[in-house]
Amino acid sequence: MSKLIKGIGASEGIAFTKVLLIEEVELDLTKKKSVAEDEIKLFNNAIEKAVKQITKLISSAIKNNLGEEKAAIFEAHLQIANDPSMTQEVITLIKTENCNAGYALDKVSKKYIAMFEAIDDAYMRERSADIKDVSRRMQMIIANKAEVDLSAISEKVIIVAEDLTPSQTAVLNKKYILGFATNIGGRTSHAAIMARSLGIPAVLGLKTITKDVRNGEILILNGQKGYVIINPTTEEINEHKTLLVEEEKTKELLKKFKNKKTLTKDNVHFELAGNIGNPKDVVAVNEAGGEAVGLFRSEFLYMESDQWPTEDTQYESYKESLVAMKGKRVIIRTLDIGGDKTLNYFKFPEEMNPFLGYRAIRLCLDRKEIFRTQLRALLRASMHGQLSIMFPLIATVKELKDALKFLDKVKAELDTEKIAYNKNIEVGMMMEVPAAAVIADKLAKYVDFFSIGTNDLIQYTMAADRMNETVAYLYEPLNPSILTLVNNIIQSGKKHNVWTGMCGEMAADHLAVPVLIGMGIHELSVSASSILRTRAQISQLTIKDTQELAAQVLECETAQEVEKLVLAFNKKVETC
Ligand code: PEP
Ligand code: MG
């Protein structure tokens, strides 16, 4: 019998194929009485196999030109796997305590990890991640288990998992991954954002999907309506095949907007830009006729790497995106790490509320060597196109001034070294903290532009976690509090000649677009898959009508009232 389960539609599109269930492999590392001789054999075998696996990784890194950095990391892994003192300590523990190899390896590796983490040197501290990695590899061999390598999937599947981290999503191959469904997450979680930028249909927040479905079962996934159907009937399959054909037709119809400017019905131009996570995503933005890149989430470069990316590596990536955009503006946001975006080579402090904690500009202002490397790379790359720098998560005037002061210092360093950069480089800030939105008027004096990050602005204003499906009812883009803040940002910007864009997901919300246009937003930056649909919608609007609508919605008391007004407005526009 088929079973329909509702979740949150996170990336539109319909997919229909078999399931690949990704389960976190749990290892039992508790202490057990064992025969020492057998356990030592198991342990030696794990070393031998781990060494073979790592050696293979080194040769494929070289063969696939993944760069010396990647190969060097695996070389370090090889040294760890072969480390005589660690090996000897594990064997001695097995012998003296007659315990299992898994427990002994866990105990010894934890000691080494703690030792490295205590060293007062960032590079050495980060080596603890390598020890974790190698010891996990050996533990998997000891337990005779295997982990799924998402980048190696070579048949068409829908991935079902508890959650997908941003770095897991970053390696998904669109050719084979037709969709994904997860227990947790919502429309603005990073897995959702990545899905949209890759154009992979996704339904998140399904709560128990990993329990409801088995590996290999057939699944229909509707990313727009937000549901999945397990073991669909023939009628359900046929019905969705028809929907797929309709979807293709709509895509065909939208193609006529591809190489057009984004103009309202009364010929006013708005810049419609695309959001990207790495330079390769520029292809999709260009294909959809994006007029700029409104948000390059530079943290994905850091997450896809095994160590802090060097100045040169970053420079090459930024340059690649600028060259690919052929002179059109590319706004690169400085490192916005923390929250749900972690790095396997950097240990974040244990925090009760990581989204309110040590992240983004806070971390960069504290770890200036990391910030400096990125700013140098950005400034150098600014010679290759129209690069704008944007600071994330600014909450106060002081934070903004500190960031700008440091940027000036880095510019001065480059001047001394006679390294060229664009002296008129535009600098802006994300508007995603309510405190900043309230004092937009004061912040506007120091920047060239604002870009409203509604994904965070909504969660912080409504005190509703953007990843938590149980409080999703509070996460309302059309809530009067959000509309008031957005309007305040736009009007404050205008007063100081500062243009305002929006790069949060609200920018592609067909209920928000006419309101934003009416408020006078200058730019909308959306995922590549939403560009043509948004341009088509804008082509039906007139400034006068949207201004009237914006004035009306600002008087509303609830999101539901706003929604009613906009739905009626959109209906009238479509029938005109
Ligand atoms: C936002 O918060 O709206 C935003 C664009 O940034 P991110 O989604 O990466 O937090
Ligand atoms: Mg944000």
* 507 in Cβ contact with 454 (< 8 Å): yes
The tens digit of pLDDT for each residue in 546-574 reads 999 999 999 999 999 999 999 999 999 98
* 84 in Cβ contact with 44 (< 8 Å): no
For residue 249, the CA-to-ligand 2 centroid distance in Å is: 34
pLDDT for 126 equals 64
| Bridge partner residues of 22 (DSSP) | 161
384 in catalytic set:
no
Task: Pick from 293, 297, 429, 451 the residue to mutate for probing ligand 1's pocket: most ligand atoms within 8 Å of its CB.
Answer: 297
For residue 503, the CA-to-ligand 2 centroid distance in Å is: 9
Q: Choose the catalytic residue: 77, 99, 384, 503.
A: 503
**Whole-structure pTM value:** 0.75
pLDDT for 171 equals 67
| pLDDT higher than threshold 80 for residue 128 | no
* 113 in Cβ contact with 128 (< 8 Å): yes
Mean pLDDT of 120-147: 79
| pLDDT higher than threshold 70 for residue 521 | yes
- Give dist(CA 327, CA 386) in Å, integer: 6
% of the chain exceeding 70 in pLDDT: 96
Predicted confidence band of residue 104 (pLDDT cuts 50, 70, 90) = very high
Predicted confidence band of residue 461 (pLDDT cuts 50, 70, 90) = very high
Cα–Cα distance list, 239 to 12, 192, 199, 245 (Å): 17, 25, 22, 10
- Give dist(CA 284, CA 413) in Å, integer: 36
| pLDDT higher than threshold 60 for residue 541 | yes
- Assess whether the C-beta atom of 284 lies below 6 angstroms from ligand 1: no
Start-end of H helices in 3-153: 36-63, 68-81, 84-97, 101-117, 122-142
Q: Output the residue whose Cα is nearest ligand 1's atom 7.
A: 455
Predicted confidence band of residue 441 (pLDDT cuts 50, 70, 90) = very high
- Give dist(CA 449, CA 389) in Å, integer: 10
Domains and CATH numbers, the chain: 3-25+148-233 (3.50.30.10), 36-142 (1.10.274.10), 271-575 (3.20.20.60)
- Give dist(CA 309, CA 260) in Å, integer: 37
Task: Pick from 332, 482, 503 the residue to mutate for probing ligand 1's pocket: most ligand atoms within 8 Å of its CB.
Answer: 503
| pLDDT higher than threshold 60 for residue 469 | yes
Other C-beta atoms closer than 10 Å to the C-beta of 355 total 15
The SS3 assignment for 26 reads coil
The tens digit of pLDDT for each residue in 236-260 reads 999 999 999 998 899 899 999 998 9
| pLDDT higher than threshold 90 for residue 127 | no
pLDDT for 366 equals 96
- Give dist(CA 307, CA 550) in Å, integer: 47
Predicted confidence band of residue 340 (pLDDT cuts 50, 70, 90) = confident
Q: Please state which of the ranges 71-75, 138-142, 227-231, 383-387 shows the lowest mean pLDDT.
A: 71-75
496 in catalytic set:
no
* 240 in Cβ contact with 218 (< 8 Å): no
- Give dist(CA 189, CA 485) in Å, integer: 22
Ligand that comes closest to the CA of residue 190: 1
Predicted confidence band of residue 122 (pLDDT cuts 50, 70, 90) = low
| pLDDT higher than threshold 60 for residue 69 | no
Start-end of H helices in 440-528: 440-443, 454-462, 480-495, 513-519
For residue 462, the CA-to-ligand 2 centroid distance in Å is: 15
10: number of CA atoms within 13 Å, CB side?
34
Mean pLDDT of 520-524: 98
For residue 458, the CA-to-ligand 2 centroid distance in Å is: 10
- Give dist(CA 576, CA 573) in Å, integer: 5
Q: What interhelical angle do 36-63 and 101-117 show, nearest 10?
A: 50
| pLDDT higher than threshold 90 for residue 214 | yes
Closest approach atom of ligand 1 to CA 432: 2
Pairing between strand 218-222 and 14-22?
A: antiparallel
Sequence-ordered list of residues with C-beta below 8 angstroms from that of 344, at least 6 positions apart, any chain: 129, 133, 167, 306
Q: Please state which of the ranges 129-138, 173-182, 212-221, 309-318 shows the lowest mean pLDDT.
A: 129-138
| pLDDT higher than threshold 90 for residue 53 | no
pLDDT for 66 equals 47
Q: Of 183, 198, 191, 203, whose CA–CA distance to 165 is shortest?
A: 191
